[in-house]
Amino acid sequence: MSLTNRDQQHLWHPYTQHKTASPSIAIVRGEGALLWDENNKVYIDAIASWWVNPFGHSNRFIADAIYHQLTTLEHVLFGGFTHEPAIVLAEKLLEILPSNQKKIFFSDNGSTAVEVAIKVALQYFYNKGEKKTTLIAFENAFHGDTFAAMAASGISFYTEAFQGMFIDVVRIPVPVKGQEQLSYAALQQAIADHNVAGFIFEPLVQGAAGMVMYSAEALDQMIRVCNQNHVLTIADEVMTGFGKTGRNFACDFLQTQPDMLCLSKALTGGTIPMAITTFTQELFDGFYSDDINKALFHGHTFTANPTGCAAAIASLTLLQTDEMQNNIARVHQSHLAFEKHIQNHPKVSTTRVLGVIFALEIKTESQESYYGDLRNKLYHYFIENGIIIRPVGNIIYILPPYIITEEQLKKVYEAVENAIEIV
Ligand SMILES: *Cc1c(COP(=O)(O)O)cnc(C)c1O
């Protein structure tokens, strides 16, 4: 029996309606930007396996670091104990994070990184005896699938079944070009009307919404408003972190830095699940007390897993090489050239590029639903043609591993261009 058939006996997949979905493709091997299925068909991974894999599949350098760590100290509890990989990773990260970030807290995935940030925002005011219990978040935001992260998320079909069970969130429009004033006004109104603890956002790019982009100037303006009103700011860099925008972090484009950052996805180069939430000294000090009740009572069993830390250190080393920085610049240039080529296509309504992220919207009569027919048609077209791309409604985006070759990129662009023709 094929792996695909055996899978169907026992496995439940994410974001999948098993009655109507096609069977899962069984991948047996990966190298660079390529993946092979059990029938030896090859695919170009044009979305870095949900944005986690900048340096290519089965990366030898990271694998060696993992092996070395596994055979030295695979894991130790992080309550009452520490270890060098966690310390070195924190030191290395703080060197490149916005300079106001001083403390590193570990968890296991993007949702929990967000969960931690939200709990810190709420408890920070609780510890001070202030009642601030509302969050502000953007429309169409995606912050993850755990409860507080879902509450902050605005893409309705992810969260519809749970409406009414969430912490209080006020949703405001994204300051996309031309809508900035609307967005600023909504932010100010929300702060005036509610006891707001924090504002959470995906800086510059809303990934799951279909790579919706807005300017650093607009975000700067909004963070300044929050600062003036003692509203904490949380940058969810789970998608944007580690080079995707062309800089290490999307926040590197800002003048005013947020109070917290959430990191995961590319943190370990796509090898081991791990996440980090980072904080200013002021936030840490809000929990620093003789009173045990003021501590942050949050932790996961595998917090700061040494093997994950070793993978993250190796990933950071790779990210900082000239070779990788050149790859990022090269992919960016290729995207710009493709954008220029495709943007006037009669079936394309808009295009956008930031760093290694490319997105285009196909002109449609009606509002396309996230997992609608057009999306499915496109998805299957790409799979048939050996390209892994997951369109969002009428939006096709590319976010490849940085090491993707020019030849592979060319194939991806050709597939995108052909796909637009068939729909
Ligand atoms: C993917 C994502 C998350 C959730 O991360 P998981 O590891 O899937 O829990 C949160 N925020 C953003 C911006 C993301 O892209």
Q: What is the pLDDT along the chain (423 residues), one digit of tens a residue?
A: 999 999 999 999 999 999 999 999 999 999 999 999 999 999 999 999 999 999 999 999 999 999 999 999 999 999 999 999 999 999 999 999 999 999 999 999 999 999 999 999 999 999 999 999 999 999 999 999 999 999 999 988 889 999 999 999 999 999 999 999 999 999 999 999 999 999 999 999 999 999 999 999 999 999 999 999 999 999 999 999 999 999 999 999 999 999 999 999 999 999 999 999 999 999 999 999 999 999 999 999 999 999 999 999 999 999 999 999 999 999 999 999 999 999 999 999 999 999 999 999 999 887 667 778 899 999 999 999 999 999 999 999 999 999 999 999 999 999 999 999 988
Given the structure tokens 């290395």, which residue do they identify?
92
Nearest ligand 1 atom to the CA of 236 is 13
Measured CA to CA, the distance from residue 353 to residue 348 in angstroms comes to 14
For 405-412, the CB contacts below 8 A with 24+ separation are: 405/32, 405/33, 406/330, 406/334, 408/33, 408/34, 408/44, 409/331, 409/334, 411/44, 411/387, 412/44, 412/46, 412/387
Tell which residue, 146, 133, 154, has the closest CA to residue 201. Answer: 154
Measured CA to CA, the distance from residue 223 to residue 227 in angstroms comes to 6
Measured CA to CA, the distance from residue 201 to residue 152 in angstroms comes to 9
Tell which residue, 71, 69, 72, 116, has the closest CA to residue 89. Answer: 69
For position 423, what pLDDT does the model report? 84
Measured CA to CA, the distance from residue 5 to residue 335 in angstroms comes to 38
| Residue whose CA lies nearest to ligand 1 atom number 10 | 143
For residue 138 and ligand 1, the question of a CB distance below 6 A is answered with no
For position 161, what pLDDT does the model report? 93
CA of 237 to the centre of ligand 1 (A): 9
For position 314, what pLDDT does the model report? 98
Q: What is the DSSP string of 9-50?
A: HH---TT--TTTSPPPP-EEEEEBTEEEETT--EEEETTHHH
For residue 392 and ligand 1, the question of a CB distance below 6 A is answered with no
Q: In testing the pocket of ligand 1, which one of 140, 200, 204, 238 has its CB within 8 Å of the most ligand atoms?
A: 238
For position 121, what pLDDT does the model report? 98
For position 422, what pLDDT does the model report? 87
Measured CA to CA, the distance from residue 378 to residue 238 in angstroms comes to 26
CA of 238 to the centre of ligand 1 (A): 6
Six-digit token pair at 275? 């996440």
